[in-house]
Homo-oligomer: A and B are copies of this chain.
Amino acid sequence: MTTQRLNLDIATATPAPIGATDWIPAGVRMQYAAGEEIYAQEEEADLVYQVARGAVRTTRLTSDGRRHIGDFYYPGDLFGVEAGPEHRYSAEALGDCEIIAVKRTALKHYGADGERLERMIWSATAEHLVRTQDHLMLLGRRTACEKVARFLLDIAERFGGEITTLPMGRQDIGDYLGLTIETVSRMLTQLQGDGLVEFRTCRQFRVLRRAALARLAES
A202 at the interface (CB under 8 A from B): no
Asked if residues A11 and B133 are in contact (CB atoms below 8 Å), the reply is no
A107 at the interface (CB under 8 A from B): yes
Asked if residues B84 and A4 are in contact (CB atoms below 8 Å), the reply is no
Asked if residues A6 and B8 are in contact (CB atoms below 8 Å), the reply is no
Contact of A114 among B4, B64, B105 (CB under 8 A): B4
Question: A68 to chain B: which residues have CB within 8 Å?
Answer: 136-137, 140-141
Asked if residues B140 and A13 are in contact (CB atoms below 8 Å), the reply is no
Q: Which of A123-131, A158-166, A186-194 contacts B (4 or more CB under 8 A)?
A: A123-131
Give the secondary structure class of A's interface: helix
Contact of A3 among B2, B15, B84 (CB under 8 A): B2
A200 at the interface (CB under 8 A from B): no
Asked if residues B133 and A70 are in contact (CB atoms below 8 Å), the reply is yes
A218 at the interface (CB under 8 A from B): yes
Asked if residues A62 and B219 are in contact (CB atoms below 8 Å), the reply is yes
Asked if residues A13 and B84 are in contact (CB atoms below 8 Å), the reply is yes
Shortest CB-to-CB span from A89 to chain B, Å, is 8
Contacts A13-B84, A68-B136, A136-B136 given; indicate if A4 touches B130 (C-beta within 8 A).
no
Binding site for B on A (CB under 8 A): 1-8, 10-15, 45, 60, 62-64, 66, 68, 70, 83-85, 88-89, 104-105, 107-108, 114-115, 118, 121, 125-130, 132-133, 135-137, 139-141, 177-178, 218-219
